[in-house]
Structure 1
């Protein structure tokens, strides 16, 4: 298991040089789904707390303490940050920080994956949609049949065109590969992979689970 370490901040740019802005990648559909699930959970939970009788309010409170952190962890928390010196992957329960020089590969198959430091990590923020990939393949076939120069350029450089010829997850992985190749030689891109567990998510969820078990066992 990779040891948990707090990554050192990237060095500041020299005077007169612009600071590199991190790029972020996350699923808009995942965020929207998380907001909807949070709203439903809070609505039902608060209603049970206010109107419930006996042990029902306490059970509802324990469920909220358990469920809300999990919804946030799997929908709102995941994001991938690509900076000048490193790639930072924020997954539901941990954050992986990989300097570009330590990145061994990125793959988009049935899921998007990062290979770094001899280990494999999933990129939860960049889910793979097989439906979107099939649509992109059909668009690529139509563009190829029409011999569209603009679509060909988009396929080569990963740009965005009115009818994308690659699925979003594939375009993100291609962009991250390009950044890895471009930045791996920088002095700020050296170092080892570090992993930090998200105790701010794990602790309340565990507390809610324990409280729920106690309430049900003593009921």
Structure 2
């Protein structure tokens, strides 16, 4: 938190200090009269420069740009903060679109990749307070699989596996069929009445690792 005596000196969208991407000042809605502001830092997402940015608060925005359009010739896309959806394990995720291709990305991993050093090259990202939708940089840390499991057990987050979990949207038979299927993820999502992210997680063994 930064106590800024004269917020007029720091308008939304100012340029950041050297070495950082664009910066904006965001005022907490819960304490608007306190004079406290949060410094929100935005960084380009690799492979999507000029298209999307991720912030240290766990927000993703689509940038202003002009793109080709089959009917209109050119189309203007306004800058906007994107809404994320919750994938089957409970994490915020969204699709990054470029050149008619979509890449699924989890918000907490984007924040960790661009704002948290990982000198030991740990593979997973942990939410310190156990809240999977709290993707502020101070709530995230790199960890090993073992460290992640231990933390989940200590915080009571580790659920029963498979269809024994009351939050499960698929069963073991569904997952086996999905992994063998030649249908697209979109077609599978429609067939099993789940999100594309649920299908992706099952295929990639992010979920249902025991089968």
| TM interval, short-chain normalised | under 0.3
- State TM-score, norm by structure 2: 0.26
Higher RCO (C-alpha under 8 Å, 6+ residues apart): 1
Structure (1 or 2) with the greater helix fraction: 1
Compare CA radii of gyration and give the structure with the larger one: 1
Counting strand residues as a fraction of each chain, which structure ranks higher?
Answer: 2
